[in-house]
Chain A
Amino acid sequence: MFKYLFARSEDIPEGSAAVYFGFSAIVWFVIGTGLGAFNASKLAFPDFVTGLEFVSFGHMRQVHVHAVIFGWISMAFAMAMMYMTPALGNTKLWSEKLGIWNAFLWNVGLSLGLTLLWSGMTSGREYSDFPWFIDLYIATFMTIPLGINVWMTVINRKTQGIYTTNWFFASAVFMVSIVFIVGNLPEWFHLTGLTEAYLTWWFAHNVLGLWITPVAAAIAYYTIPKVTGNPLYSHRIGHLHFWSVVVFYSTPAAHHLMSAPLPEWLKSFASVEGVLILVPAVAFVSNILLTMQGKWNMFVENLEIRFTVTGCLMAIPLNMQGGFQQTRAINWYIHGTGWIVAHAHLALLGFSTFLEAAAVYLGLQTLMKRKLYSLTLGNLHFWFLLIGFTTYWVSMTIAGLIQGAGKIYEVPYIDVVMAEHPYMIARWIGGSLVFTGNCFWLYNMWMTARAGTVIPEGRMAHELAYER
């Protein structure tokens, strides 16, 4: 890929940027989940690898979070945008060279930022932990160039309308840059106190609500119709999804700080808006599942569809939790417990990761014109991810309920820690399964590039039989 950095744009093969982004995403996924599993081991066995600053839990926790959000999820998003946006506009990516540079600078910036975080250089603000100059780098060299490429591709499309996926892409790349710049105002202008705390959670909430959720959903709006051959069930429901995300998902940030002395009206407003998140959620899930009509056999037979539909199904518990757990009554019980950790993983490792994995599988096969190397490894990846995630989610949800009961009924804290121990071990096992599955995936994709069956011109990957 490096040779294309200084090549002329027309000499760069179509899809190079997407492939570069796709493989980077998988590598960061392996790194991020590996770190996650290692962190989990320390919560189960605190004396496992001890006494060294660089492998202490507090130094690695935020590295795990940022490796998966900005490495895996966001680079998989960029990958999806690099091939879906032009495909849906019946055109080429506006600038393949910008895409290559974007992917390169993304990897450089993320490596630098994570190294700083790992060494303890942090702003001390959850989800916006990067020091301000890294934030500036992310906006300038990561999100804005990506946005320019997506917008220019949409503008130069050869179709009359803009398909649902591309509305989401175009608005999300715009919104994530705004969220990044506004959310980091406290660091740039040294805002302090409750303003700083509120903006921290405003950022954290919106980076999920206006970036991760809508882009993941947009990916499903492409993969399901593309692979099944069915048209999207309803564009109008797609509209409803889009507008309700923009209106309802961008407002409930204060529900993360229910016990802070923020204005009461703001907390109540956030609580009500939070329940309304069910509107885009129901619109999205029903639209996708209804698009599957007549093609449910593919849920069993086709890897990409299986990943996507599993992700969509996980959006149901995700949004039932998300809609109600931030109301005051329920928030009182579960705030700050493992329940929330489970919920966050349901959003990122469940719902969103499964949709992105499908997009990366589909995109890499299509762009490299190589059929997936091994179906067995693909299946193993799916099941390791699903079983690992489920183990994690169930154990952390139970641990969270124990913690919640503990804090309500004034149980001495150490008894809660002891009661959680088995679930911490289960969490570590779940995380390790996910990590192992991802190692299979990286190998499988690498072998696909080197030894996958060539896909003939005009055919799609899933039309060919697997050879292994």
Chain B
Amino acid sequence: MVNFREYKIGARFFGLALGGSMTITLFMPSFDLRNVNATEVALDKQLWAGHESGFSLDDPFLTGEHRPVRVTLKTDPKTGQPMASTVAYVYPAGTPLPNGVDHPDNLGNIVEQLSRDKGRIGEATKSQGAVFLLSSEPQGDGSKQFYIENASATKGWNPEEVMKAAGDENTYHASYGKAIFVREGCWWCHTLLPEETQDWQVFGAPPMLGDFNGESPTAFGSDRKAPDILHVGSRNSSREWMMLHFFNPRLVQPHSIMPRFDYLWGPIDDKGQKIDFDKWRAEYNEYVDGKRVTPPEVPMYASNSDARALIDFVLSLK
């Protein structure tokens, strides 16, 4: 140790330099980033995406365990009476709650207070499950202030009843879809952060401060080998196009370099029949070689397949 004496000044300067750098790059921005109020976009996103889209102990292999779903309700789940179309976010029992419900201070002061007082989010528990709504309160200037409403507390809706009332065709597995997006590395080519170039003119508005509260991971991506898809659902809302594109991108875009994601169909199609991938690929190769006029038919995915969840996610990127 004694030999270090002559380096005392140097060591202190080193601490000062590194500490100063961390103060400026970590401590100071935290004042700007804290207490940003979550926008409608952020609330919607964190409610359908759930607690975590990357690795977490609740879904370690990213296979869709303990994930919320977004449903569109046309009938009241309690009474069965028809009602105006309502979007609800269903967290079955055991599903980790979204970040803004677990840690309401991440919502920003205004949204936090509304969500706590009017939305009663403090009463939601992971063990019981919950149903959330994206509600709004009119403001003096004519705008709306959005907040999270815990419908299990305010309306007495429970997850099972809501799922049943919605039915499979009105259920969107966008949360699991985002986990697949992360797992399959889609974001290595498709960014989720439009830039100040053609993106803002052609692909949609840039994200605002407050559009990301509660999202994890943001998966912005950095390497644009493909178009930005933050707003892809507004450009292209065709489920059939997405299905063909995921099965083999060259079916709809001959020059695409996107990999085939036919393996996300799983072993069986929507009718429970085994999908013969070898036959499909052989016939597709014949089509490419000009021996067939049309490519083989793409099998319809099963309703519990990864392909369905991924398409649900992509179409929810409005």
Contacts and interface: CB of A to CB of B under 8 A. Distances in A.
Decide if A and B are genuine partners. yes
Interface of A: 42-44, 46-47, 50-53, 56-59, 61-62, 119-126, 131-132, 155, 157, 160-162, 171, 175, 178, 182, 186-187, 190-198, 200, 202, 243, 246-247, 250-251, 253-254, 256-257, 259-263, 266, 269, 332, 335-338, 340-341, 403, 406-411, 413-414, 417-418, 424
B206 A266 contact: no
B32 A263 contact: yes
Nearest to B195: A259
A337 B223 CA distance: 6
A195 B227 CA distance: 25
A121 to B, nearest CB: 5
Given A121-B62, A260-B220, A410 B198 contact: yes
Given A43-B257, A182-B26, A58 B198 contact: no
Contacts of B14: 171, 246
B259 A50 contact: yes
Contacts of A161: 6
Nearest to B258: A46
A56 B223 contact: no
Which of B60, B220, B260 has the most chain A CB atoms inside 10 A of its CB?
A: B220
Interface stretch (B67-75, B83-91, B147-155, B207-215): B207-215
Nearest to B10: A167
Contact of A123 (B54, B191, B201): B54
23 contacts: A51-B262, A51-B263, A56-B184, A59-B185, A124-B53, A126-B221, A126-B222, A131-B54, A160-B3, A190-B51, A193-B216, A194-B36, A196-B215, A198-B33, A202-B25, A250-B18, A251-B21, A257-B193, A259-B193, A263-B32, A269-B24, A338-B225, A410-B198
A379 to B, nearest CB: 34
B184 A59 contact: yes
A406 B30 CA distance: 36
Interface string B1-45: 101101100000110011011101110111011001000001000
B204 to A, nearest CB: 13
Contact of A407 (B13, B18, B24, B199): B199
Nearest to A157: B3
Interface in B49-103: 51-55, 60-62, 99, 103
A246 B18 contact: yes
B53 to A, nearest CB: 6
B61 A121 contact: yes
Interface in B170-200: 182-189, 191, 193-199
Contacts of B201: 410
Nearest to A89: B3
Contact of A340 (B33, B219, B223, B262): B223
A127 B261 CA distance: 24
Contacts of A417: 225-226, 255-257
Given A56-B259, A61-B185, A124 B33 contact: no
B281 interface: yes
Interface size, B (range): 35 or more
B38 to A, nearest CB: 8
B208 to A, nearest CB: 6
B84 to A, nearest CB: 31
B25 A58 contact: no
B55 A132 contact: yes
A195 B99 CA distance: 13
Contact of A408 (B53, B197, B206, B209): B197
A61 B18 contact: no
A337 B224 contact: yes
B217 interface: yes
Interface of B: 1, 3-4, 6-7, 13-14, 17-18, 20-22, 24-26, 28-30, 32-33, 36, 42, 46, 51-55, 60-62, 99, 103, 106, 182-189, 191, 193-199, 201-202, 206-209, 211-227, 249-250, 253, 255-263, 277, 281
A253 B29 CA distance: 12
A275 B52 CA distance: 36
A192 B215 contact: yes
A422 B263 CA distance: 29
A53 to B, nearest CB: 5
A39 to B, nearest CB: 9
Contact of A46 (B62, B182, B208, B256): B256
Given A122-B182, A257-B220, A336-B195, A46 B26 contact: no
Nearest to B220: A197
A197 B194 CA distance: 15
A372 B201 CA distance: 59
Contacts of B60: 121
Query: Which of B14, B184, B209, B222 has the most C-beta atoms of chain A within 10 angstroms of its own C-beta?
Result: B222
Nearest to A161: B6
Nearest to B63: A120
Contacts of A121: 55, 60-62, 183
Contact of B52 (A120, A190, A340): A190
Contact of B196 (A61, A253, A254, A332): A332
A221 B95 CA distance: 55
Contacts of A119: 61
B48 to A, nearest CB: 14
A413 B191 CA distance: 13
B33 A195 contact: yes
A322 B17 CA distance: 22
A186 B52 CA distance: 11
A59 B208 CA distance: 31
A162 B6 CA distance: 10
B205 to A, nearest CB: 11
B253 to A, nearest CB: 6
A46 B106 contact: no
Given A123-B217, A195-B30, A200-B217, 5 more contacts: A122-B62, A122-B183, A161-B6, A198-B29, A408-B197
A42 B4 CA distance: 53
Nearest to B260: A50
A260 B226 contact: no
Contacts of A197: 212, 217-218, 220
A155 B4 contact: yes
Contacts of A195: 30, 33
A261 to B, nearest CB: 4
A414 B253 contact: yes
Given A59-B185, A62-B185, A266-B32, A122 B7 contact: no
B197 A332 contact: yes
B7 A162 contact: yes
Nearest to B186: A58
B183 A266 contact: no
A424 B213 contact: no
A192 B51 CA distance: 9
User: Which residue, A56, A57, A131, A424, has most C-beta atoms of chain B within 10 A?
Assistant: A57
Nearest to B207: A261
Nearest to A197: B218
B227 A413 contact: yes
Contact of A52 (B62, B197, B227, B263): B263
A122 B199 CA distance: 28
